Chains A and B, each alone.
Chain A
C-alpha cells in the first residue's frame, strides 16, 4: 500500500479527532427529543402490575408507566420519586413519607396519600411477593393530609431496609381504579394506569407492548422519548440478530446468551456491561439436603465445596462473567458487604482428606457414595454448573446423578417434595439481606416455599442473628450483625454460594443517559434519549 501525504494527513486528523471528540461531543450534546426506543422482552408476564408482582420482567415494562415512592441513584442511595422526603421515629416503628404534590394519574385523577395507603395495605401487604414478608408487621398507613403517609409498624422497621426494599416493592397503584374490584382480575393489571413518564398504549400478546410519552408528567419537559416498544423474543439467538439488525436497541438481564454477550462485547455498536444493573446481583448456588446422612456432616459439605474449581468454571463456562463468592452478601452491596475471601478455595487433597475423616472411604470402584443433583433452571449456566459439579465430584469419589426437570418441576421437587440431595440454581440478592437472602438460612419456612431454607437444617444462633438484624435500627450495628451472620453461615454451609455474578445488558451506543442508576433497566427512563444515527 502506498501512503500519500493526503492519506497521512487525513488519518492523523482522524486520530486526533477521535481522541478529542468523544468526550467533548458527549458533554456538549444536547438531548434530542422524540424517537422510539425498542427493548427486548424475554418472557411475557401474566400481569403488568408491580404492586402485585415483584419481578424484573414486570419492572422492565411497568416502571416506565407506574412509579414507586423511591428509587436508587448511581451510587445506590435512595432518591425521591413519588415521596419527596421521609423520616423515621427513634423507636423505628413509624415512618412518615411526604408525598409529591401536583402528580396526576394517566386518567387525570390526582395522586394522593389515599393511593399510598390503599396500595400498601391491600396490595403490598396482601399480594405482593416479598412485599407480604416485608410489610408483615405493618399495622396501618395513616393519612393526616393529602400528601402525607404515615406507616405504623408493630415491630421496629430499619429505615434503610425499608427504603432499599421500596425501590422494588414500593410501586403505587391507583386506588380509584382498584377499590371495590377483584384486585387480581382488574383489567388495569394488563393495561396499567400510573403516574409515570409513559402511558400504556397497547399489548399484543406474543408480539409487543407499546407505551407513549405522557405529556402531563410531573417532571416538566420530560421524558425525551416519544415511545417505548417492548418486543417479545423468546429465542436468545434471535435476540442477538434483532440487536444487530437494529430491531431492538436494548436487551437486559442476560437476555442474550453468554456467548453472544461475549461476542458483542467487542462490537463497537454496542455497550455490553453490568453498569446500571448493580442492584440485582445473583449467585450460583449449591444447596444441600441435610436430611441425607452424608450431607448432614458439615465436613462432607465443606469437602464438596473444596472439590470444585470455581475459577476454572467461571473462566471456561461463563466467559469470565463473574467471580467466586465470599458469602451470601455480594460485594456490590457496600452497605452490608463484610469483605473476606471465598471460604472454600479449590483444594482436592483437602476435600479427599475431609471425606476420609468423615468416614466415607472410597469403595472398591473408587466411589464413596452417590448423590442426586437437581438443577433449577434459572439460566443457561445452571445445567453447565450441574455438569461441572458432576465431573468435579467424580474426581473425589462422589458419584452424581443429574435429574433434569423444567423450572416448575424442579421447584416442586426441591422445595416441596424435598426429593433431592444437591440442588443448584440462583440466589438473587435484592438490595438488603432481609428481603430475599436470609430466608435461605432462617428456619421455619413452611414446606413448599421456593428459595427458602428447605434443607432440613437449623441453627438457633443463626436464626437469632437474622431476627436481630432485621429489626436493628442503627445501620452500623446492622452491618456488623450481618458480617457476623455471613461468617457463621459460611462456617455451617447449609448452602454454598458458588459464584457472585451480575446481570449483563447489551445496549446500542445510540442511546444516551442509559444505565445511569443502579437499577436503570427497572427505572423510569425519563431522561433517556436516542442520538441521531
Chain B
C-alpha cells in the first residue's frame, strides 16, 4: 500500500515534466523544415498542388501552429494520443503493436549486460592489474569503442551469411504459424544476435563501473573488519563488497533505460525488428508528429516507472536510504 501511494505521488510529480516535454518537442519539431505531407510527397515521388493542399487539410495541417498545439493538448487531456499519419490508425495502437518487441529486446539486452558486466567486473576487481583484469578491461574498451551497427552487421555476416547458424533478421519466422513453446523458441532464436549486439556496449559500461566500485568498496573499513574477523575471501566479496558495490550499477540501469529505447534504432534497423526505435526514426523522417510525441510519451512513462523501481531497489540494497 505504501509502495502504491509512493508510486502515485511519483507519477503526479512527473506530470508537469511530461507536459513540458511534449509541448517542447511539439514546438521544436515545428522548426524542422517540411511537414508530413512533404514527406509523403517525397515518398510517392511527386504530386500536384491541389492534391497537396487537400492532404494538408486531411492531416489537419492547414491551421496555425497554435491551433494545432491546442488541439493536441486537448486530445492529450482526454488521454487520446491522436492518429498516426504513417499508419492511418490510432497512435496508441501503433505503439502497442511495437512495444512487446522493444521491451523484449531491451529487457534481455539489459539483463544480459547487467549480469555479464557484473560478473566480469567482479572478476577484474579481484585480479586487479593482473592479466585477467587487463584482458577484461581491454575487451570492455573494444566493445565500448565499436559502433553497434558494425557489430550487428559483422554478426550477421559471420553467423547468418557464412555459417548459417542464426537468422539474418526479423522478429520471427514469417507465416510459419508456430504456437506455444515453439514460437517462444523461434523468437528467442531471432533475438539472439540483436540482443548481444545491443548488450555489448552497455556491458562495457557496467563492467567498468562494477570494477571501479568493487575496488573502492574493498578498501573501506568495514571490509577490513570483515577480513579481520576471519571471513573467507569469497564470503567477504559476496556478503559485504558486492552488495555495496551494486549501488552505482543500479543507478546506471535507471539512467540507461532511456538511452536503450533510443539506442535500439540502429539495432532494430539492422535486424529488421519492429521496435519503437525504428518507429521513432520513421516518424521523424516522415514528420509524423502524433506518432513521435506518442513514442516520447510512452518512453518517458517507461523511464519514470523504471526509475521508480530503481528507487525501491536502492532501499532494499542499502537500508540507510529511506523512502
CB distance from A330 to the nearest CB of B (A): 16
Chain B residues with Cβ under 8 A from A409's Cβ?
32-34, 38
B157 touches A241 (CB 8 A): yes
With A132-B51, A238-B168, A412-B34 known as contacts, the answer to whether A428 contacts B45 (CB < 8 A) is yes
| A210-B175 Cα distance, complex, nearest whole Å | 8
CB distance from A236 to the nearest CB of B (A): 10
With A43-B43, A206-B279, A231-B272 known as contacts, the answer to whether A405 contacts B33 (CB < 8 A) is yes
| A36-B176 Cα distance, complex, nearest whole Å | 12
A237 touches B270 (CB 8 A): yes
Which one of B160, B168, B274 lies within 8 Å of A205 (CB-CB)?
Answer: B274
Is A189 an interface position by the 8 A CB rule?
yes
B164 touches A206 (CB 8 A): no
A238 touches B270 (CB 8 A): yes
CB distance from B45 to the nearest CB of A (A): 6
Q: Which of A43, A58, A235, A412 has the most CB of B within 10 A?
A: A235
A54 touches B174 (CB 8 A): no
| A185-B58 Cα distance, complex, nearest whole Å | 10
CB-CB nearest in chain B for A184: B58
Interface-lining segment among B1-9, B80-88, B243-251, B309-317: B80-88
Is A436 an interface position by the 8 A CB rule?
yes
Which one of B33, B169, B286 lies within 8 Å of A233 (CB-CB)?
Answer: B169
Q: Which of A195-209 contact B (CB under 8 A)?
A: 204-208
* B interface residues, how many (CB within 8 angstroms): 54
Interface-lining segment among A75-83, A341-349, A447-455: A447-455
Interface string of A434-453 (1 = CB under 8 A from B): 00100000000110111100
Is A247 an interface position by the 8 A CB rule?
yes
CB-CB nearest in chain B for A242: B168
A229 touches B175 (CB 8 A): yes
Interface-lining segment among A44-52, A86-94, A310-318: A44-52
CB distance from A348 to the nearest CB of B (A): 35
Chain A residues with Cβ under 8 A from B34's Cβ?
406, 408-413
Q: Which of B13-54 contact A (CB under 8 A)?
A: 32-36, 38-52, 54
Is B271 an interface position by the 8 A CB rule?
yes
With A46-B40, A409-B34 known as contacts, the answer to whether A450 contacts B88 (CB < 8 A) is no
Sorting the interface of chain A by its residue count into under 10, 10 to 19, 20 to 34 or 35 or more gives 35 or more
CB distance from A268 to the nearest CB of B (A): 15
Chain A residues with Cβ under 8 A from B46's Cβ?
129-130, 428, 436, 450-451
CB-CB nearest in chain A for B50: A132
A408 touches B58 (CB 8 A): no
B282 touches A129 (CB 8 A): no
CB distance from B86 to the nearest CB of A (A): 6
CB distance from A190 to the nearest CB of B (A): 6
CB distance from B238 to the nearest CB of A (A): 43
Interface string of B282-303 (1 = CB under 8 A from A): 1001110000000000000000
With A205-B94, A229-B174 known as contacts, the answer to whether A411 contacts B270 (CB < 8 A) is no
| A147-B48 Cα distance, complex, nearest whole Å | 31
A56 touches B45 (CB 8 A): yes
B44 touches A54 (CB 8 A): yes
Chain A residues with Cβ under 8 A from B40's Cβ?
46
Is B167 an interface position by the 8 A CB rule?
yes
Is B111 an interface position by the 8 A CB rule?
no
| A428-B168 Cα distance, complex, nearest whole Å | 33
CB distance from B242 to the nearest CB of A (A): 40
B168 touches A241 (CB 8 A): yes
Q: Which of A216-265 contact B (CB under 8 A)?
A: 227, 229, 231-235, 237-238, 241-242, 244-245, 247
Chain A residues with Cβ under 8 A from B255's Cβ?
none
Chain A residues with Cβ under 8 A from B35's Cβ?
408, 412
Interface string of A400-428 (1 = CB under 8 A from B): 00000111111111000100000000001
Chain A residues with Cβ under 8 A from B49's Cβ?
445-446, 448-449
A58 touches B44 (CB 8 A): yes
CB distance from B157 to the nearest CB of A (A): 7
| A446-B156 Cα distance, complex, nearest whole Å | 48
CB distance from A59 to the nearest CB of B (A): 11
A46 touches B86 (CB 8 A): yes
With A44-B86, A241-B169 known as contacts, the answer to whether A406 contacts B51 (CB < 8 A) is no
Q: Which of B46, B47, B49, B168 has the most CB of A within 10 A?
A: B46
A129 touches B43 (CB 8 A): no
Is A471 an interface position by the 8 A CB rule?
no
Interface string of A110-151 (1 = CB under 8 A from B): 000000000000000001111011000000000000000000
CB-CB nearest in chain A for B279: A206
CB distance from A216 to the nearest CB of B (A): 22
| A59-B215 Cα distance, complex, nearest whole Å | 62
Is A55 an interface position by the 8 A CB rule?
yes
CB distance from B176 to the nearest CB of A (A): 11
CB distance from B148 to the nearest CB of A (A): 12
Q: Which of A317-341 contact B (CB under 8 A)?
A: none
Q: Which of B42, B43, B45 has the most CB of A within 10 A?
A: B45
CB-CB nearest in chain B for A280: B45
Chain A residues with Cβ under 8 A from B278's Cβ?
206, 234
Chain B residues with Cβ under 8 A from A206's Cβ?
97-98, 274-275, 278-279
B167 touches A407 (CB 8 A): no
Q: Which of B32, B85, B174 has the most CB of A within 10 A?
A: B174
Which one of A44, A132, A235 lies within 8 Å of B48 (CB-CB)?
Answer: A132
| A207-B271 Cα distance, complex, nearest whole Å | 11
With A242-B169, A449-B48 known as contacts, the answer to whether A235 contacts B174 (CB < 8 A) is no
Chain B residues with Cβ under 8 A from A46's Cβ?
40, 43, 85-88
- Given pairs A55-B45, A189-B88, A245-B168, 13 additional interface contacts (CB within 8 A): A43-B43, A57-B43, A127-B54, A132-B48, A206-B275, A207-B272, A229-B175, A242-B168, A406-B34, A407-B42, A408-B38, A417-B33, A450-B47
Could you show 24 A-B contacts with beta carbons less than 8 Å apart?
A43-B43, A57-B44, A127-B51, A129-B45, A190-B88, A205-B98, A206-B97, A229-B174, A232-B272, A232-B274, A234-B272, A238-B272, A241-B157, A241-B160, A242-B168, A244-B161, A247-B169, A247-B170, A407-B42, A408-B34, A409-B32, A412-B38, A417-B33, A449-B47
* Residues in chain B within 8 A of chain A (CB atoms): 32-36, 38-52, 54, 58, 85-88, 94, 97-98, 153, 156-157, 160-161, 164, 167-171, 174-175, 269-272, 274-275, 278-279, 282, 285-287
